[in-house]
Amino acid sequence: MTDTTAIKVGETSRRAVGRDGVLDIAARLFREQGYGSVSLRKIAEAAGIKAGSIYYHFGSKDEIVAAVLDAGIQVVHESMREAVTALPSDTDGETILRTAIRAHLRALLDVSDYTSANVRIFGQVPQPVRDANLPTRRAYEAEWDRLLSRLQNDGALKHDVDIRQLRLMLIGTLNATLDWFDPNRGSADALSRTYADVFLNGILERQDT
């Protein structure tokens, strides 16, 4: 539980939102409206506090954004790693890749405002903030590269595909979903199956059927 101490002001009793509360709201607003449209006053209003109060928890707006960005990658990174680790050790390559794709898409579309906010606003934040997020990103990318390389060495993937290129294409495709996905029209799981089908087998009609 977050340590939310109750505070009485005047007659009504307010609940302290605290650092985590502010961060949650910031992540949601960033995901919904992008970086530039979300001012500290908007975040404060949504959190039920005043703009200046944010500076009790954070040193600057950039610090908030940086925290959101880092958390966003960490969530999807752990989701993906745990989903793959939880598989039986004799799982075939195709299933492993499908599992990783599904985990990434779930974090992005279902689970985390932080992950979706990261994907949405990374290209909009000032460069110092972007740079600060890079190490965390690289760690997640390395996780994918290890996974894909393992599958390729095991003979599951074609040997002539470039791992880095494939990873960029994969994550790029998954993340692009955020621009159009409507939870009322489909589920992350169904979509991840479609994606995996295309990536694994292609869309070309085969002669050998």
Residues that bind DNA (CB under 7 A): 3, 5-10, 14, 16-18, 21-22, 37-42, 44, 48-57, 59-62
What value, to the nearest 5°, has the Cα angle with vertex 109 and ends 107 and 113?
70
Task: Give me Rg for the CA atoms of the chain.
Answer: 20
Q: Cα 149 to chain center, whole Å? A: 22
Is residue 68 a contact partner of residue 118, using CB atoms and an 8 Å limit? yes
- Show contacts with a copy of itself in window 38-77 (CB under 8 A): none
Q: Is 184 one of the binding residues for a copy of itself (CB under 8 A)?
A: no
Which one of DNA, a copy of itself, none interacts with residue 138, CB within 5 to 8 A by kind? none
- Show contacts with a copy of itself in window 117-156 (CB under 8 A): 120, 123-124, 126, 155-156
Residue with tokens 């975040």: 43
Residue type, 208: D
DSSP class of residue 16 equals P
Q: Is 187 one of the binding residues for a copy of itself (CB under 8 A)?
A: no
In the bound complex, what is the minimum distance in angstroms from residue 151's beta carbon to DNA?
Answer: 43
Binds a copy of itself by CB under 8 A, chosen from 20, 32, 82, 162: 162
CA distances from 46 to 3, 29, 49 (A): 19, 9, 8
* Binding-site ranges for a copy of itself (CB under 8 A): 34-37, 94, 120, 123-124, 126, 155-159, 161-162, 165-166, 168-169, 172-173, 175-177, 179-180, 194-195, 198-205, 208
